[in-house]
Amino acid sequence: MNTQKSKELFQEAQKYLVGGVNSPVRAFKAVEADPIFIKKGKGCRIWDVDDNEYIDYVLSWGPLILGHAHDQVINAIKQISNYGTSFGAPTELEVEMAKAVIDAVKSVEMVRFVNSGTEATMSAIRLARGYTKRKKIIKFDGCYHGHGDSLLVSAGSGVATLGIPGTPGIPEELASLTIVLPYNNIEAVEEAFEKYGDDIACVIIEPVAGNMGVVAPSKEYHQKLREITRKYGALLIFDEVMTGFRLSYGGAQELYDIDPDLTTFGKVIGGGLPVGAYGGKREIMEYVAPVGPVYQAGTLSGNPLAMTAGLTQLQLLKQLNPYQELDEKGRFLEEGFKKISQETGVPVAVNRVGSMITVFFTDKEVVDFTTAKTSDSKKFAKFFRCMLEKGVYLPASQFEAFFLSTAHSQRDLEDTLNKAYECFKQLS
Ligand code: PMP
């Protein structure tokens, strides 16, 4: 495969952009490869600047659940842009979009739109602290909630990928207010609340973790979290930036039948444009300015282009209800990878919930970040490079999820598994 233009662009990019990229994992450092520069996408495919074609399992890290450049989403953006790009004033679209989110997600009674998942979680944490008048928060080891200071402690995703140890730039005083506990371990949560219960503002969790690779919790785990947080008057925040509108139209909370106090969104909600949101119980949301005292604002928040892309994608999802289809596609890949592992003797743990899937190169069961880290990242990197070479674009890290879209056909999945078989054989 000729990737000359990508190589040249990367050389050039590194002169002007830190690491040649605008988000660390894109640099392909952990997989010891040069990044591919993308020119265009359509459906489940992307093309790079050298005109190589790939089946894409990154989908811009999750947003493009209907695939790249979906005709209806693109047309809607084109049309609305004729009216202007931003006003910094209320628009009808924001009302429509808010109604769509509230209609979809049971626990959400009011919503505020922002521009990214990071902003959504940062704002939700501020709101939880303001509402409860408490300082400490609980997050889980290996969960990533964006790069807000309070949340960038023992985070997954790129932080885990690059093995960045501490949290340089984040004052110890602030980091010490974040209690980090192992995922899927309810005793640890009980102990923390026994010790610090009166000072814990909230528990924030990826209801299905995707940023240490995919790790699923049990329904009982979420129920217990809900009970404990209620008992101590702390808020339960479901960070559904990745899972929202992906695992079901009502998000992971619908799947697990849990009623969190606040929920954060990003990715799918924006249809590929920069949108985040946080929402929840009216009583809590009314603590946000201008109704309440907790300040949060945004010049481009509720931007008409972004609202249009998001709303169009949500309307299509509601209409198509593709979640069973996505789950079946996910199952096909999961079973395929397990079979390939057996046939080639390369041990892997395949974790999946719906259309999120991770192949961990370990012989251990992966239930938390500690077990996720038993994976052989070098082996993953080899697998990644082999797949890339064969035209399959995977997330460039062991600690990320592969995402599926409605645009991946049965043939694409079979093609992917055939290539994976070849790559596993090279590893065995
Ligand atoms: N929360 C979760 C669960 C995420 O997966 C991410 C991004 N991967 C974020 C928050 C941050 O979102 P963004 O990158 O849009 O700031």
| Residues 398, 361 contacting (CB under 8 angstroms) | yes
Which H or E run includes 337? helix 323-344
pTM of the model: 0.97
Equal CATH topology for 4-65+322-427 and 71-320: no
- What pLDDT digit, counting tens, does each position of 118-139 carry? 999 999 999 999 999 999 999 9
131 is catalytic: no
* CATH code reported for the domain at 4-65+322-427: 3.90.1150.10
* Predicted pLDDT of residue 173: 87
* Predicted pLDDT of residue 160: 65
135 is catalytic: no
Nearest protein Cα to ligand 1, atom 5 = 242
Residues within a 6 A CB radius of ligand 1: 61, 116-118, 121, 144-146, 157, 206, 210-211, 239, 241-242, 266, 276
Radius of gyration of the chain (CA): 21
Residue 401, token pair as written in the block = 């999820």
| Per-position DSSP letters for 148-196, written without gaps between them | -GGG-SS--HHHHHTT--S-TTS-HHHHTTEEEE-TT-HHHHHHHHHHH
Q: How large is the ipTM?
A: 0.99
- What pLDDT digit, counting tens, does each position of 139-158 carry? 999 999 999 999 988 777 67
* CATH code reported for the domain at 71-320: 3.40.640.10
Query: What residue ranges do the domains of the chain occupy?
Result: 4-65+322-427, 71-320
Distance of CA 125 to the CA centre of its chain: 18
- What pLDDT digit, counting tens, does each position of 278-326 carry? 999 999 999 999 999 999 999 999 999 999 999 999 999 999 999 999 9
259 is catalytic: no
- What pLDDT digit, counting tens, does each position of 393-407 carry? 999 999 999 999 999
* Predicted pLDDT of residue 153: 81
* Predicted pLDDT of residue 161: 63
User: What's the Cα-to-Cα distance from 14 to each of 18, 19, 202, rounded to whole Å?
Assistant: 6, 5, 40
Mean pLDDT of 177-195: 96
